[in-house]
Amino acid sequence: MASQQPSEQPNSNEMSQEPVMDSQVLLHYEDDTGEDSQIPSTLDEGEAVLYRPGWKNLMISMQEKPDKQPPEIQCTSTLHHVLKKDDTEAPVKKKAKFYRQSASLDLDPDQSCAEVAGAALAKAKAGASKAKAKPVKKEVLKKPSAAESTTSAPAGPINQTIDDLRNGDLALCEKRDKGKGVRFAKDRDSLPPHVLHLIDKESRGNRAFKSIVINKLYQRQADGSLRLCLSDPIFSEAQQLYTSTYSKTKEHSLPETVMLASHFGGNERLFQEAARKGEIVSQKGSDNIMYWSFKSWEIGRKDGKMVSQRLDQQKKVSKDEAEELLEAFGSVNWKFTPKQLEKGMIEDHGEISASSLNLLKQAIQSQEKLCKETNSLLKSTGLDSDFIKSLKVFYTKATAHIASLNQLKELNMMPDATTPTEESLKQLFLTVAEHTSKFNDSVEIGKAKLKAQKN
């Protein structure tokens, strides 16, 4: 949307005759040529200003104060143009760093708008210089729109409306957590495709919805850290929609000879019949070979996946399985009680339970400790080559387990990229515990061998 400027710019003579109005707004700016310009305009309540960092300009708004006191001049720098509150199609530009300064001027009723603007401009520049040299915490804010206004009345509605314009409909929007936005940018490459599609495609053009999604993507913990949360219904539904939309069909392309042999049993008549009906189509590849392709439908894939997950989550652990798990955890000194196991490893909303998350951290620490001790053993001399080889095998598996467990902790995703269930989570912990026990035995044997050599 283009800047809403008057079609004809008034000259200084016309402006000098213009009386001071309660709602009068003067745009005083220096353009790229360094020339001074003044554009009178009106600013009603509910309108706002967007910023253009390239300009050096000031907005001067006047509102009449009670008891016939002089109007207060509100000066704010870096204006771009005036917009209606409901004008959602306007381009949103980043705010430039600016100073906000208010000044009460004793106005003469005979003063022209140009004279008022000049006086306000001089005071604002002086105030801005002082603020820059000696910033006042409550008056000079890096993010005025994100804090409560400490200036007089005119600045409040303007800056609030800017927030409304940037975030969408005030009734529906919520402000984006800056920390979550930074974390999202950092995690982008590792996030599941359905999450990226929801944020990048489905939220395109709707900043308010995009902020809601990013805020839901992370949960802030008691210590201030952020934890990825993919169990929210908005992501579950997005995964179902993404799967049904993008995984319904699959296209298979093969060279003609391979297609004829593998799919038509060498029957050229059937091959030609399929081509005539359009069931297979040809296209020359970049290698100048003619490829024939057909599409296949994967029916019932989504429903089958959803049902199997629900059945797995509802399945109760048997007494024998519980004993096996607890024995395995105890053998490697992981703390996990029968009561915690009985409650389940997955919460109702699909996230890993707090006790299971603690178990996961213990598992990671065990692998890291054994890998560190293995590095020390491998630097020593006196161990035979076969034993060193077995240590390296254990070490390799441990590093793979660390990666899988970290993926589970950060993305709530199993090594095979599926959502964790009670059954799959127990099996993973059991596998890691059994490997940890064997790895630990091997490391202790290595230590004993080196100790025996020293004695």
User: For residue 416, what is the DSSP state?
Assistant: T
Half-sphere exposure of 169 (CA within 13 A, CB side): 4
Place of tokens 């995984």: 247
Q: What is the pLDDT of residue 383?
A: 85
Considering the domain architecture, whether residues 200 and 276 belong to the same structural domain is answered as no
Q: How far apart are CA 167 and CA 207, in angstroms?
A: 6
Residue 333 identity: N
Does residue 66 sit within a domain? yes
Considering the domain architecture, whether residues 334 and 395 belong to the same structural domain is answered as yes
Considering the domain architecture, whether residues 334 and 429 belong to the same structural domain is answered as yes
Single out the residue of 314, 389, 324, 392 nearest to residue 350, CA to CA.
314
Q: What is the pLDDT of residue 451?
A: 82
Name the domain count of the chain. Answer: 4
224: alpha, beta or left, given left = phi > 0 and alpha = psi -120 to 50?
left
Q: What is the pLDDT of residue 271?
A: 87
Considering the domain architecture, whether residues 440 and 381 belong to the same structural domain is answered as yes
Q: How far apart are CA 303 and CA 52, in angstroms?
A: 51
Q: How far apart are CA 121 and CA 98, in angstroms?
A: 14
Does residue 397 sit within a domain? yes
Of 227, 246, 265, the residue that ends a domain is 246
| Enclosing domain of residue 67 | 12-167
Q: Which stretches of the chain score pLDDT less than 70?
A: 1-174, 203-205, 237-252, 296-319, 455
Would you state the structure tokens that stand for residue 96, as one six-digit string?
């430039």
Does residue 304 sit within a domain? no
Q: How far apart are CA 312 and CA 212, in angstroms?
A: 31
At CA 167, angle to CA 166 and CA 168, rounded to 5? 100
User: For residue 316, what is the DSSP state?
Assistant: P
Does residue 173 sit within a domain? no
Residue 328 identity: A
Of 210, 225, 246, the residue that ends a domain is 246
- Kindly state the helix (H) or strand (E) to which residue 39 belongs, with its residue range: strand 36-42
Q: What is the pLDDT of residue 371?
A: 93
Considering the domain architecture, whether residues 235 and 104 belong to the same structural domain is answered as no
Considering the domain architecture, whether residues 184 and 220 belong to the same structural domain is answered as yes
Considering the domain architecture, whether residues 350 and 427 belong to the same structural domain is answered as yes
Considering the domain architecture, whether residues 27 and 53 belong to the same structural domain is answered as yes
Question: 343-357 pLDDT, tens per residue?
Answer: 888 887 778 888 989
User: For residue 341, what is the DSSP state?
Assistant: H
Q: What is the pLDDT of residue 237?
A: 67
Would you state the structure tokens that stand for residue 349, as one six-digit string?
């909303």
Q: What is the pLDDT of residue 300?
A: 45
Considering the domain architecture, whether residues 157 and 199 belong to the same structural domain is answered as no
Considering the domain architecture, whether residues 141 and 197 belong to the same structural domain is answered as no
Q: How far apart are CA 244 and CA 239, in angstroms?
A: 9
| pTM for this entry | 0.34
Of 113, 134, 167, the residue that ends a domain is 167
Considering the domain architecture, whether residues 435 and 388 belong to the same structural domain is answered as yes
Considering the domain architecture, whether residues 330 and 447 belong to the same structural domain is answered as yes
Does residue 309 sit within a domain? no
Q: What is the pLDDT of residue 385?
A: 87
- Give the CATH number for residue 418: 1.20.120
For residues 362 and 435, the answer to whether their CB atoms sit within 8 Å is no
For the chain, give me the number of helices (H) and strands (E)?
15, 12
For residues 104 and 65, the answer to whether their CB atoms sit within 8 Å is no
Does residue 157 sit within a domain? yes
Q: Give CA 319 to chain center in angstroms.
A: 42
Would you state the structure tokens that stand for residue 66, as one six-digit string?
């009670």
Neighbours of 169 (CB within 10 A): 11
Does residue 6 sit within a domain? no
Does residue 307 sit within a domain? no
Q: What is the pLDDT of residue 142?
A: 47
Q: Give CA 64 to chain center in angstroms.
A: 44
Half-sphere exposure of 282 (CA within 13 A, CB side): 14
